[in-house]
Chains A and B, each alone.
Chain A
Amino acid sequence: MEAVSAKGLSFRHNTAKKPALEGVRLSAAAGELVMLMGSSGSGKTTLLRLLKPEIAPLGEVSGEIRIFGEKAAAPQPKVGYVPQHPEEGFVSDTVRGEIMFAPENAGLSPEEVRRLTAETVSRFGLGKLLSRKLDGLSGGEKQLVSLCAAMVVQPDILLLDEPFSRLDPVAAENMAALILRVNRELGVTVIVAEHSAEQLFAECDRVVFLENGRVTADLPPRKAAALPAVMAYAPAAARAFANAEPLPLTVREGREMLAHSEHLVEVPLPKSKVFTEKVLEADGLRFAFTRGGEDILDGTDIVLHKGEFLALAGANGSGKTTLLRVLAGLARPYAGKLMIGGKPPKKAALRVGMLPQEAADLFLQPTVLEDYRYALKAMGKPENMAEEMLARLGAEHLGNMHPYDLSGGELQLCALGRVLLCKPDILLADEPTKGLDPISASRMGHLLKELCAEGKAVLAVTHDLEFAAFHADSCAIFCGGRAESLMPSPHFFARAGFYSTAAGRISRGMVKNAYLTEHLQAAFGGGTYDR
């Protein structure tokens, strides 16, 4: 039986000229797991919201949506929806209040509300969080609460909008396992919109690929991954063995393929760049939020050179953002020494700029161009630099748009431009690829590399290991309040054991020095690769 079916679905937002969706055909049988993929702004979120009529966006809709054979109309309690940013959907102040919200609004008796809550809390292991305040939860915990808040009324269909975009690899794996359990063990039909293919791609029943509001592929994952348009979004195993038959989708399948094929046992380690001029040096930085409280920075040492792109990987909540705030002078360490260009921060001639994790926080004006001009005026710089910066980024067409209306990739691009207006010598980027599709993430990486080529230094904290491995010159892992194992990224990833890229895990013990899909391609096909 079809749980969800959309035929000829078109949609145009009230204020938009172009339709967000055009003639979309989508179906999901009961109990299926369907993955919606596509670039930022391709219409994934709009499609998901149209499937939940209570939160359908305002605009012109044509076509038909059916839920379990009936025309979709609000209310639709059979459909649960988990938004992309859990904080935006939170209504209560505590986990308990958030979980109880839906059943309390469903006209159930107090006893029934408590039963549903108890079932959900026990099934999803939320017991320890139940009395916690929502603002004190980690990213992974917030995502879990958001999922449970949707699951508590036991929907038959679950819609998830980019559930992994804000999670570190380990938290993302846990969340993926939970979603799979919901689908496999509870029989819930799951439709998940996501950029990251490493988690659910291989497990889903079908991949629906959207481009500019149109469905361009609706195939089982193995067939979808073979399509050129989808390949960039496919898991590392599929990209590494792109011409193999059958196409591997998981690290395990990739390892099997490698084990049963002829391949090189070693690929040459890419040359490490040598940097000499130190622009930022932190020595034994210590920071805690309260006196006597836990040290978030526990004697952090870090060195950044002119022209270097240093990536700092690490789990959610490990203190990476706090380190950036301290380096940017936004928070004060209680011990340790920080030198910018060989001088204390207050006397430093070099300028430090920071690209925040929430790019939207940068924008104070209604359009990107107006915001750039406002910032330039506030900094006492000529306002015509605004157009120049947009041209440099190739983002002239975004100048008159409201920052909140931009897609994730566009917003991050404009935010980078906004920070570059202050002409920083050192750029600190906090999760620059968060929520970006692979194409936008790659573009961001190239932009940061260009800045390094101009002589700027970039320190990016990220949990996107593929991004760090591909673009960074040096890499370190932030753990226990310290930057561990700071070294050139080829050495960092060649030595990495568990905390590595998918390609690194595929090649582990079989191909030495292979940590990028390009390395695996070279080892597998015997060809060459070029960073």
Chain B
Amino acid sequence: MKAFHPLARLAVTAAVLVILMFCRSVTAAAVGLVTGLCCIGLTDGRKSLLKWLGASLLTAFAMAVIDPLVSHRGMTVLLFVNGRAYTLESMLYGLELGLSLGGVTVWLTAGRRLISEREMLCMMGRLSPKLALTVSMTLGFIPRLAETQRRIRDAQRGAGLFADNSPTGRMGEAMAVFTACAARAAENAAGAARSMNARGFGRHRLTYSDRRKLRRADIILTAAEVLLTAASLVFAALGGATEFYPALKFGRYEPALAVICGAAGLPAVISLAKEVIEWKLYLPKG
């Protein structure tokens, strides 16, 4: 998938996420979950695939069981809990919610495998170099702050302070360490400002140089994903979504939505599968 521009990869991920979140179709949710799991299996291996499959099914099952306890709509009453109806429709609605939630989580994870932090910054830098710099500085600042916080806490404990593990003792420690961290962050900010000045910050328009050209294949894939997303929203609006109440009824364009959802995620699956096959069959042999 790395052969494609990060924008095209972002388009694939975003298209599936939009379909899963806004189309509310049980079949599309299932298809989206399956393609997402395929991506994770192809990037992270079988162990990770099984882990995510188990977690997604567990989420779907839990939602299917819990939803009828809070929503009592639907015609097919399975049983009564505390005098309230526990319906099949509500259960299926919960299942669809669970599948969508699982699919979204899986695709967010797959998205992180498909597009790196740097590539996201790179795309952001194209739109706004200053915003990309701010994000990059923040990403650098957070681990440094966490490390400073750990160091200061260790230094205090190593010098005999905050040995008391009571809630008030810990609160006192947290406040003292936080204050010291804030002072250190201000000191470090002065250092960073000096470093930025020393390297010419603010004297010229900022260039964002970490760019990659969009090729024809990237443009085609991005355009296709945009079209598929638009089509899915249109179909959903025209009656593609599954209706659960009063009785389960598949939407008129539900098969089309499932196909669109599959088609949106398929380029990632095909591309990743091709890479796996190439690695397995050809590359090790030179």
Residue positions of A touching B, CB distance < 8 A = 52, 54-55, 74-75, 77, 80-81, 83, 85, 87-94, 96-97, 100-111, 113-114, 117, 131, 133-135, 149-150, 153, 325, 328-330, 351-356, 358, 360-364, 375, 378-379, 404, 418-419, 421-422, 424, 428
Contacts and interface: CB of A to CB of B under 8 A. Distances in A.
20 contacts: A91-B199, A93-B139, A94-B118, A94-B136, A97-B136, A100-B209, A102-B200, A104-B209, A105-B207, A107-B207, A110-B207, A110-B209, A111-B209, A149-B199, A150-B198, A150-B199, A330-B157, A352-B158, A354-B158, A361-B154
Nearest to A85: B191
Given A104-B209, A135-B144, A330 B191 contact: no
A105 B199 contact: yes
Interface string B184-220: 1001100110111111111111111111000000000
A81 B198 contact: yes
B266 interface: no
A110 B200 contact: no
Interface residues of B, number: 50
A88 B192 contact: yes
B180 interface: yes
Given A89-B195, A106-B203, A113-B209, 11 more contacts: A88-B191, A89-B198, A93-B139, A96-B210, A105-B206, A329-B157, A330-B158, A354-B159, A419-B158, A422-B161, A428-B158
A446 to B, nearest CB: 21
- SS of A interface (majority): mixed
B200 A375 contact: no
A92 B136 contact: yes
A421 B159 contact: yes
Contacts of A421: 159-160
A131 B140 contact: no
Contact of B203 (A81, A107, A353): A107
Interface in B253-275: none
Contacts of A428: 158
A130 to B, nearest CB: 10
Contacts of A150: 198-199
Given A114-B209, A149-B199, A105 B140 contact: no
Given A100-B210, A105-B203, A52 B198 contact: yes
Contacts of B250: none
A89 B156 contact: no
Contacts of A105: 196, 199-204, 206-207
Nearest to A98: B140
A109 B204 CA distance: 11
Contacts of B136: 91-94, 97
B143 to A, nearest CB: 4
B211 to A, nearest CB: 6
B199 A364 contact: no
Given A113-B209, A358-B151, A90 B192 contact: yes
A89 B209 contact: no
Nearest to B158: A354
Identify which of A93, A149, A153, A428 gathers the most chain B CB atoms within 10 Å of its CB: A93
Nearest to A80: B198
Interface string B112-124: 0000001001000
B207 A113 contact: yes
B204 A106 contact: yes
A135 B143 contact: yes
A330 to B, nearest CB: 5
B159 A353 contact: yes
Contacts of B208: 104, 110
Which interface residue of B180, B195, B199 has the most chain A CB atoms within 10 A? B199
Interface in B31-65: none
Nearest to A84: B191
Nearest to B184: A360
Contacts of A379: 160-161
A57 B203 CA distance: 20
Nearest to A113: B209
B194 A55 contact: yes
B137 A92 contact: yes
A330 B199 contact: no
B230 to A, nearest CB: 32
B162 A378 contact: yes
Contact of A104 (B139, B157, B192, B207): B207
Contacts of A378: 161-162, 172
B147 interface: yes
A54 B199 CA distance: 9
Contact of A362 (B159, B197, B203): B159
Nearest to B157: A330
B131 interface: no
Contacts of A153: 199-200
B140 A135 contact: yes
Nearest to A88: B191
Given A102-B199, A351-B160, A108 B207 contact: yes
Contact of A404 (B151, B159, B187, B198): B187
Contacts of B192: 88-91
Contacts of B203: 75, 105-107
B76 interface: no
B156 A133 contact: no
Contacts of A77: 200
A133 B176 contact: no
B128 interface: no
A150 B196 CA distance: 11
Nearest to B125: A104
Residue from B159, B202, B207 with most neighbouring chain A CB atoms (10 Å): B159
